[in-house]
Structure 1
Amino acid sequence: MDEVEFLRGRVYGADHDDAGPRPDRTYAQLVGGPLDGLLLDVTDRTRHELREVALITEIGRYGPGGRALYGRRSGDDRRFDWLGDTPGAP
């Protein structure tokens, strides 16, 4: 199983031992890009904060420390589409 398949169906940023979704949390699905299929916990974030998110990833174009950019899909708050990758902060 490659790393991308291993990550599918898991929650972004969760510990590997507890990476499944929790019933008391709200999630959006990441669509496309290096984090495709992962769930993003959006429980305590405002709509403004979730317009666009930059998520650290080891498997994007810029490797370790790079960011994958995702934006909320118009008309569907439960899906975030991949917008591209960006280098991490210096």
Structure 2
Amino acid sequence: MTEHARPRIYGADHDVPDAHTPRPGHEYVELTGGPLNGQLLDVTGLSFNDRTAGAYLITPHGACGPGRASYGPTFSRPDGPWVWEGDVH
């Protein structure tokens, strides 16, 4: 798999060499759909309640330009992946 085919870690800068390398001992969920599709979100240290609540994540390119996108788990798969629920205005 090439570097560009591997998912990028959410929040990692594009020009950082390890932007595509999950850190050992960390837990990640894949983000599906929306502007952050395919990226991995580090959920290490989040409580069960925090994981089931999802998150508003900063995105440089939402439906209305830069802003936040809502991602969360589905009832059938609470451990991931997290799905796009829409942009937050």
Amino acid at match of 1:58: P
RMSD: 1.9
Q: How far did residue 73 of structure 1 move? A: 1.8
TM-score by length of 2: 0.79
Structure 1 residue ranges, 4+ long, deviating more than 2 angstroms after superposition? none
Residue segments in structure 1 that go unaligned for 5+ positions in a row: 1-5
After the TM superposition, which residues 15-34 of structure 1 pair with which residues of structure 2 at under 5 Å, given as runs? 15-16=13-14, 17=16, 18-19=18-19, 20-34=21-35
TM-score normalised per structure 1:
0.78
Distance 1:35 1:8 in 2: 14
User: How many Å apart are 1:8 and its aligned residue?
Assistant: 6.3
Deviation at 1:86, TM superposition (A): 1.2
The alpha-carbon distance between structure 1 residues 8 and 33, as it changes in their structure 2 partners (threshold 3 A), is farther
Identity %: 48
Structure 2 gap segments, 5+ residues each: none
